[in-house]
Amino acid sequence: MLEMRQVSLSFGASRVLDAIDFRVAPGERVGVLGSSGAGKSTLLRLAAGLLRASSGACINSYRHSLLVFQEPRLLPWRSIQDNIEIPLLAAGCSREQARARAGHWLERVDLAGVGKAWPGELSGGMAQRAALARAFAMQPDLLLLDEPFSALDPALRAALSKLCNECVKDTGAALLCISHHPHELVEMVDRCVLIAHGKLQSFDFESAMNGQTRAAAADSLHQTLLNQETIAP
Ligand SMILES: Nc1ncnc2c1ncn2[C@@H]1O[C@H](COP(=O)(O)OP(=O)(O)OP(=O)(O)O)[C@@H](O)[C@H]1O
């Protein structure tokens, strides 16, 4: 369980999160939306333990939380296979285990056959798939995605969101995912929170769908976001 109780976080005089209460239960998939600078990455970094709350309590009792960034962050001087194996070896896997797990996940993200390639030889989409394979190979029980596909073109972004969604479902990991694209996010998560002016607002798909499709819920979410950006606190 990830639980934030009355968490505030400020950078200097600027309060980014203001007394928020927030939970992600095991296996739950939660989306995070908000305008640029609203505090989405701050929320994820707090969950990952990279930032400390200025006040309140942030308790992350997941065994292994893993943050995937917007850029793949592969080691450029090591092969793709090595990039996946190195964190596994560091976590205590044997060489055989690491090799087998890396092979499995490379195949799962459609990169079987490129294990020996260098990161610089991969396209942006392939590199991000390798980053996903590296993340899933570590068997996280909480996956934190900080807009990992936003640098890709829309078709590739949709394909990778779908692949990532399938992998999350296969592993049963909990998911906390930032996106600027409500229509993709509704396919990936059970519920959403919107960040604005330091506060969280829950967005319930079921009531937004009102018997309609997820796309209709995404339209409603998109409209809520637009309103947030035009309405002062
Ligand atoms: N290390 C830091 N030091 C000072 N200010 C910071 C730091 N990290 C973030 N901020 C500020 O906190 C606010 C929230 O930043 P954050 O990156 O969480 O926003 P975001 O919603 O993820 O934005 P975007 O969608 O543009 O990535 C911004 O005003 C940002 O400038």
SS in 3 state form for the chain? Answer: CEEEEEEEEEECCEEEEEEEEEEECCCCEEEEECCCCCCHHHHHHHHCCCCCCCEEEEEECCCCEEEECCCCCCCCCCCHHHHHHHHHHHCCCCHHHHHHHHHHHHHHCCCCCCCCCCHHHCCHHHHHHHHHHHHHHCCCCEEEEECCCCCCCHHHHHHHHHHHHHHHHHHCCEEEEECCCHHHHHHHCCEEEEEECCEEEEECHHHHHCCCCHHHHHHHHHHHHHHHHHCCC
Which of 103, 124, 139 terminates a domain? The answer is 139
Q: Same structural domain for residues 112 and 34?
A: no
Q: Same structural domain for residues 16 and 130?
A: no
What CATH number is associated with residue 2? 3.40.50.300
Res 220: pLDDT: 77
Ligand 1 atom having least distance to the Cα of 38: 21
Which of 94, 114, 139 terminates a domain? The answer is 139
Q: Same structural domain for residues 147 and 202?
A: yes
Q: Same structural domain for residues 48 and 159?
A: yes
Q: Same structural domain for residues 11 and 117?
A: no
Q: Same structural domain for residues 180 and 232?
A: yes
Separation of 41 CA from ligand 1 center, angstroms?
7
**Domain contains 69:** no
Separation of 179 CA from ligand 1 center, angstroms?
15
Residues forming beta bridges with residue 202, ordered by sequence position: 193
Taking only the tens of pLDDT, the chain with its 233 residues reads 999 999 999 999 999 999 999 999 999 999 999 988 999 999 999 999 999 999 999 999 999 999 998 889 999 999 999 999 999 999 999 999 999 999 999 999 989 999 999 999 999 889 999 999 999 999 999 999 998 888 788 888 888 888 888 889 989 999 999 988 888 888 888 889 999 999 998 877 666 666 677 777 777 777 777 776 654 44
Separation of 193 CA from ligand 1 center, angstroms?
17
Which residue is closest in CA terms to ligand 1's atom 27? 36
Q: Same structural domain for residues 149 and 224?
A: yes
Interface predicted TM-score (ipTM) of this complex, two decimals: 0.96
Res 230: pLDDT: 53
**To test ligand 1's pocket by mutation, which of 17, 35, 40 has the most ligand atoms within 8 angstroms of CB?**
40
Res 233: pLDDT: 47
Separation of 205 CA from ligand 1 center, angstroms?
27
Ligand 1 atom having least distance to the Cα of 178: 22
Q: Same structural domain for residues 231 and 167?
A: yes
Separation of 117 CA from ligand 1 center, angstroms?
35
Secondary element (H or E) of residue 63: none
Ligand 1 atom having least distance to the Cα of 51: 1
Q: What tokens were used for 215?
A: 């796309």
Which residue, among 29, 45, 41, has the nearest Cα to 180 in the 3D structure?
41
Res 232: pLDDT: 44
Q: Same structural domain for residues 146 and 55?
A: yes
Which of 110, 139, 168 terminates a domain? The answer is 139
Number of domains present in the structure of the chain: 2
Q: Same structural domain for residues 111 and 211?
A: no
**Domain contains 70:** no
Coil, strand or helix at 195: strand
Which residue is closest in CA terms to ligand 1's atom 13? 37
Q: Same structural domain for residues 190 and 118?
A: no
Distance CA 98, CA 194 (A): 38
Res 206: pLDDT: 67
Res 15: pLDDT: 95
Protein residues whose CB sits closer than 6 Å to any atom of ligand 1: 11, 16, 34, 36-42
Residue 123 · residue 129 · CB < 8 Å: no
User: Can you give the residue range of the structural domain that contains 34?
Assistant: 1-64+142-233
Separation of 38 CA from ligand 1 center, angstroms?
7
Separation of 16 CA from ligand 1 center, angstroms?
8
Q: Same structural domain for residues 126 and 156?
A: no
